[in-house]
Amino acid sequence: MSSVGQPLTDTLGRVHTSLRVSVTDRCNIRCFYCMPLENVNFRPRDELLTFEEIERFVRIGVTLGIRKIRLTGGEPLVRSELPQLVERLASIDGIEDLALTTNGILLTEQAADLQAAGLQRLNVSLDSLSEETFQKISRRSGLQRVLDGIFAARVAGFTDIRLNAIAIRGLTETEIVPLAGFARTHDFELRFIEFMPLDAENHWESEQVLTSQEIRQTLEANFCPLVPSSRHDPSQPAVDFHFSDGCGRIGFINPISQPFCSSCNRLRITAEGQVRNCLFSTKEWDVRTLLREGGSDDQVRELVRDCVLHKKPAHGVGGAEFVKPERAMYQIGG
């Protein structure tokens, strides 16, 4: 029996409308919170989903209520001819939001083509405005290329550009004020994201989590009070504020100190076609094999439904029963 039109609802009543699609596990930098420094084993190209396979999966997802797509990696802009995929996805009836997360290194060269292809929004990782700190985190140079890419995207016509900064105690406290000042000056939305235990080298410790409360205190001491913003989407992971002087917006994503699992509406598919119901899931559902061995659309739908029905109430980070995923962030999709 076909399940077309029936929402993707899990056992707790969470309705899933958002899909994060990793297009590659490769990256041109080596951020320690995401990847190992060396000896990285990337997937062979023939193991990655083709654009045709991604498009088919997304089209099937739309029949289940998926409305938002975010392209991720690795670094998605290292995937050859990515604007072609964007164009394919932008043409699908039912997709209301098509976004991409990038480190910005290649954005200067690709921003115009991505915008022309139908990409609506950009999230750019910007953890620091100091080249020294940038290199400590990314273990590569390139801060100026990221900044150039951000402004190239604006010139290309992107009006919704969000900056994402990982908050790490002992490393990024000095970046809080410069990043906020930069975002206020240039009218970018800035979000601080807590450091999560998804690093490839297993060095994460809970003491490294720099909380939103501490960041907010720093911002208010240096600028002005932060006022809570209205929440347009109850499932969004960020808690948003705006500066009381009317200049700028700040968001906090607190997966460790204030988990938002109860309202999570997201699914993920890895670059090689494994469907995941949580960033911290230890189980995956292999849709690539189904796609390549003649599986029907209904079979794909049932696989996705089974994945959703097995979603746990929460990720459990910090709990006694928490098990860290074997795969790091770059292998899952940010």
Q: Annotated binding residue at 50?
A: no
Considering the domain boundaries, does residue 193 fall inside one? no
Q: Residue 327 — pLDDT band, cuts 50, 70, 90?
A: confident
Q: How many CA atoms lie within 13 A of 137 on its CB side?
A: 25
Q: Annotated binding residue at 278?
A: yes
Considering the domain boundaries, does residue 180 fall inside one? no
Give the mean pLDDT of 20-43: 92
Considering the domain boundaries, does residue 129 fall inside one? yes
The Cβ of residue 19 has, within 10 Å, a number of other Cβ atoms equal to 24
Q: Annotated binding residue at 20?
A: yes
Containing domain of residue 48, as a range?
8-163+260-332
Residue 41 CA to residue 244 CA, distance in Å, equals 47
Instruction: Give the total number of structural domains in the chain.
Output: 1
Q: Annotated binding residue at 154?
A: no
Q: Annotated binding residue at 91?
A: no
Q: What is the pTM of this model?
A: 0.94
pLDDT given at position 4: 75
Considering the domain boundaries, does residue 198 fall inside one? no
Q: Residue 293 — pLDDT band, cuts 50, 70, 90?
A: very high
> What is residue 5's three-state secondary structure?
coil
The Cβ of residue 246 has, within 10 Å, a number of other Cβ atoms equal to 8
| Helix ranges, 16-165 (H) | 51-62, 82-90, 107-117, 131-138, 143-156
Considering the domain boundaries, does residue 301 fall inside one? yes
Q: Residue 318 — pLDDT band, cuts 50, 70, 90?
A: low
Considering the domain boundaries, does residue 90 fall inside one? yes
Q: Annotated binding residue at 249?
A: no
What CATH number is given to the structural domain containing 57?
3.20.20.70
Q: Annotated binding residue at 198?
A: no
Q: Annotated binding residue at 34?
A: yes
Considering the domain boundaries, does residue 233 fall inside one? no
Q: Annotated binding residue at 45?
A: no
Which tens digit of pLDDT belongs to each residue from 189-222?
A: 999 999 887 777 778 788 898 999 999 999 999 9
Give the mean pLDDT of 23-35: 94
Residue 244's Cα: distance from chain center in Å?
A: 28
Which tens digit of pLDDT belongs to each residue from 44-87?
A: 999 999 999 999 999 999 999 999 999 999 999 999 999 999 99
Give the mean pLDDT of 313-330: 78
The Cβ of residue 20 has, within 10 Å, a number of other Cβ atoms equal to 21
Q: Annotated binding residue at 70?
A: yes
pLDDT given at position 320: 66
CB-based burial, 207-233: b 16+ in 10 Å, e otherwise:
ebbbbbebbbeebeeebeebeeeeeee
Considering the domain boundaries, does residue 132 fall inside one? yes
